[in-house]
Amino acid sequence: MRSSRRTWRAARSNISGRTSASSAPARAVTLIRRIAVTNKLTLLHPRYWGTWLALGTLRAITPLPYPVLAWLGRRIGDVAVRLPLSFVRIARRNLELCFPDLSPAERERLLKEHFRSVGVGLFETAICWWGSYARIHRLTRLEGEEHLDAALARGRGAILLSAHFTTLEMGAAAICTRRPTNIMYRPTRNAVLERFLMRNRSRRTRRAIPRDDIRTLVSALKENEHVWYAPDQSYRKKGAQMVPFFGIPAATNTATSRLARMTGAAVLPYFPERLACGRYVVRILPALENFPSDDPAADALRFNELIEAHIRRVPEQYLWIHRRFKGLTEDYPDYYRRAAAARQPQ
């Protein structure tokens, strides 16, 4: 990485004219090519071999019939839920917090169903990455497009406000393969996976916008485009407030209100659901009325309640492996540390 940065600085120096005018362009091109080679070699580092193997395996089995992939996903979930992994403990703790009325046995059954859903979601993702548009269209049904059309008819853009369900990739693909769609995403630290995701998203979306690129997001909305956005796991302390989620204060992104106020964009809830028949329905709900208000926390609570309502329809399909109840300061309890300590052997 240091070599790559030095090479880039040298190339930038040449481009800026610190060398002779005649040699600068040729040397800059040579150095930039060297950067590309260096970056490609970085992707072959042993720490990425597991990622390459996983991607290759997924790519190889994606052509299998959907029922076979779903069966494999459920079996992977059956194995994962039995392992002493941190995200299993996190999911169990989240279910304890959100469903206190269920008995321990009922929550364990829900936990097992959740990990089956996570496993199926893995192969849904593979279908979205490598499957044809026709295959995705056979599996998905998009409802409520008339609400999106009505919102765009106002000429101020639209935010499709979603959340992190295990069906997230299929939910996004349902609209991205039917009409040009911008998506907001969180870049990953894995260089191989990030390179792959960017290539894939560039093919299937109008624009893939990193979560910190607010300027591009605002530009898309002002050009009367629609943007898929799932802010329930993406927040910074500066732009977050503690807002109830299932009755428990949780750090919650309030940026949606600011974006809607800044651009005048309509905000439409957007929720996917995996059906028992092995198909998917994605619902675009009508634009939220009187949104945004003068209270970003009240707006965030309003959307949290919509997420809760959808979770209660399909509780196993929400992504419970995320630390949803993190606090913004030490004044709030650390639910996950306490859960981990409670399970440590004496």
Tokens of 126: 């593979």
Q: Which of 106-115, 247-256, 274-283 has the lowest mean pLDDT?
A: 247-256
Neighbours of 256 (CB within 10 A): 23
- Is the bond into 292 cis (omega within 30 degrees of 0)? yes
Output the pLDDT for position 202. 80
Q: Which of 40-49, 95-104, 133-142, 321-330 has the lowest mean pLDDT?
A: 40-49
**Quick check: 91 and 135 in contact, CB under 8 A?**
no
Which pLDDT tens digit goes with each residue over 271-296?
A: 999 999 999 999 999 999 999 999 99
Query: Considering the entire predicted model, what is its pTM?
Result: 0.83
Output the pLDDT for position 21. 46
Tokens of 105: 């046995």
**Quick check: 314 and 274 in contact, CB under 8 A?**
yes
Backbone angles phi, psi at 181, to 5 degrees: -135, 135
Q: Which of 111-115, 178-182, 333-337 has the lowest mean pLDDT?
A: 333-337
**Quick check: 243 and 300 in contact, CB under 8 A?**
yes
Output the pLDDT for position 196. 86
- Please state, in angstroms and as integers, the Cα–Cα distance from residue 267 to each residue in 160, 302, 307, following that order: 6, 12, 14
Tokens of 189: 């630290």
Q: Which of 109, 94, 32 is nearest to 326 (CA)?
A: 94
Residue 194's Cα: distance from chain center in Å? 13
Mean pLDDT of 292-306: 95
pLDDT at 170 over 70: yes
Q: What's the rounded Cα separation, in Å, for the pair 64 and 140?
A: 18
Task: Break the chain into its structural domains and give their ranges.
Answer: 2-43, 54-341
pLDDT at 110 over 80: yes
Tokens of 188: 């990953």
Q: Which of 41-50, 141-150, 202-211 has the lowest mean pLDDT?
A: 41-50
pLDDT at 175 over 50: yes
Output the pLDDT for position 57. 95
In three-state secondary structure terms, 227 is strand
pLDDT at 304 over 70: yes
Band (19; pLDDT cuts 50, 70, 90):
very low
Tokens of 98: 């959100």
Backbone angles phi, psi at 282, to 5 degrees: -120, 125
Mean pLDDT of 3-8: 45
